[in-house]
Amino acid sequence: MYEGLHIVHRHHGAIDLRSDTVTLPSPAMREAMARAEVGDDVYGEDPTINRLEEMAAALLDKEAAVLVPSGTMGNLSALLAHCGRGDRVIMGDQCHIYWYEAGGASALGGMAYHPLPTAADGTVDLDLLREAASLGDDQHEAPSSLICLENTHNRCGGVVLPLDYLAEVAAIAQDAMLPVHLDGARIFNAAVALGVHVREITRHVDSVQICLSKGLAAPVGSLVLGRADFIARVRGMRKMLGGGMRQAGVIAAAGIVALEQMVDRLAEDHANARILALGLAEIPGLNIELGRVQTNIVRFELQIADLRVEEFLGRLRQRGVLMGGMGGRTIRAVTHYGISAADIEHVLGVVRECVE
Ligand SMILES: *Cc1c(COP(=O)(O)O)cnc(C)c1O
């Protein structure tokens, strides 16, 4: 039996709302990790990884999947498998790939980013997208090779892309004969918020990256999914990037628990985010757009002239509440596994104290 190990579920007693990446593995994950059957995955011989990849491919209705160490490596290895040097990759200018992935597609893949203005709801203008998708016939133009989407949209505050928007982007891509890659770090938050099976999202894209280590609470890992021949190329790119792992079944075991047990409970995080948002909206000096709070991310603005964001965050921290500054007057709080409705009530009390 896997006993006697004290499992800690909260960092230093603080209520940490900086991100859903701070989630700690569940007891069931620890148990599964300890018991996982493992082998050398570069030889394709880790039974737990193979099971996770097959399970995820079936769930998202794609031919194949590959486990990668991080979402960043997942996106990069997918982009490298889709595009060559000098190829144009079209994406919204607020997306994670453009902002937070160290320029990898450009630095390591020689790709040209073509960022399009992003609306507050996470979408880009479809006429601009169509125009960008058509580039490449003229000798002046880097050939368009890929369209990237992100769902839920992180920098736009966890908003969910509508299914009919996904369908329209897919139609534009098809006309231009371009593949679509989805950064689905939080795709299950989107599916839960829409009340649809995750397949209703993935059917519109050729490849997708999903994070096991965000709201699903696994300690490490992402998956890239797509057609079998494409995933074989992603596997090669993962190796090139140094991401070929050996007995990583200990990681995959937690990933299996994540997909089996942690998806439906995301609704609880969304409900807690809603309670937090409604409470913040009542506090003078805070601005929040409630319509943008659709999943587990709450963004709000501190509009008190003589209170700096850093000062406010410091006051919260002294009282055991962690949130993140997002630049300017914007603050972010993310609900996740380990945060209860009672915690949210407590946080609202602390915020009230800190703005006084
Ligand atoms: C977190 C995140 C990633 C990257 O995942 P890491 O595992 O942190 O590398 C990619 N895209 C989005 C939208 C994310 O939120």
What are the pLDDT tens digits along the chain (356 aa)?
444 444 444 555 799 999 999 999 999 999 999 999 999 999 999 999 999 999 999 999 999 999 999 999 999 999 999 999 999 999 999 999 999 999 999 999 999 999 999 999 999 999 999 999 999 999 999 999 999 999 999 999 999 999 999 999 999 999 999 999 999 999 999 999 999 999 999 999 999 999 999 999 999 999 999 999 999 999 999 999 999 999 999 999 999 999 999 999 999 999 999 999 999 999 999 999 999 999 999 999 999 999 999 999 999 999 999 999 999 999 999 999 999 999 999 999 999 999 98
252 plus 286 within the same structural domain: no
User: Do 68 and 243 form a contact (C-beta atoms < 8 A)?
Assistant: yes
Tell me, using a 6 A CB cutoff, whether residue 213 lines ligand 1.
yes
Among the listed residues 332, 288, 14, the one whose alpha carbon sits nearest the alpha carbon of residue 158: 332
Phi and psi torsions of 81, nearest 5°: -75, -30
Pick the closest to residue 303 from 341, 333, 331 (CA basis): 331
The answer to whether residue 214 is domain-embedded is yes
**Start-end of H helices in 36-112:** 47-60, 71-82, 96-100, 104-107
Q: Does residue 104 belong to any structural domain of this protein?
A: yes
pLDDT number for residue 72:
98
To the nearest 10°, report the CA torsion of 184, 186, 192, 196: 0
pLDDT, residue 10, reads 54
Q: Kindly state whether residues 192 and 312 are assigned to the same domain.
A: no
Distance CA 223, CA 235 (A): 11
The predicted pLDDT at position 1 comes to 42
Does the beta carbon of 72 lie inside 6 Å of ligand 1? Answer: yes
Ligand 1 center to 354 CA (angstroms): 31
Q: Which of 209, 234, 261 is the last residue of a domain?
A: 261
Helix segments in 135-265, DSSP class H: 163-176, 187-194, 199-202, 228-240, 249-261
Question: Domain residues for 229?
Answer: 27-261
Domain count of the chain? 2
272 lines ligand 1 (CB under 6 A): no
Testing ligand 1's pocket by substitution, the residue of 68, 150, 161, 183 carrying the most ligand atoms inside 8 A of its CB is 183
The answer to the question of residue 293 being in a domain is: yes
- Counting from 1 in the atom list of ligand 1, the atom nearest the Cα of 150 is 13
253 and 33 in contact (C-beta within 8 Å)? yes
d(CA 64, CA 224): 8
Check if 70 has its Cβ closer than 6 Å to any atom of ligand 1. Answer: yes
As a whole-number percent, the residues of the chain with pLDDT over 70 amount to 97
- What's the pTM? 0.96
Count Cβ atoms within 10 A of the Cβ of residue 59 and give its class: 0-12 exposed, 13-18 middle, 19 or more buried.
buried
Same domain, 256 and 124: yes
CB of 185 shorter than 6 A to ligand 1: yes
For residue 124, give both structure tokens. Answer: 């880009």
Q: What is the pLDDT of residue 3?
A: 47
Decide: 71 in ligand 1 pocket, CB within 6 A.
yes
215 and 159 in one domain? yes
What integer pLDDT is reported at residue 162 of this predicted model? 98
Which among 41, 46, 56, 5 is positioned nearest to 218, based on CA atoms? 56
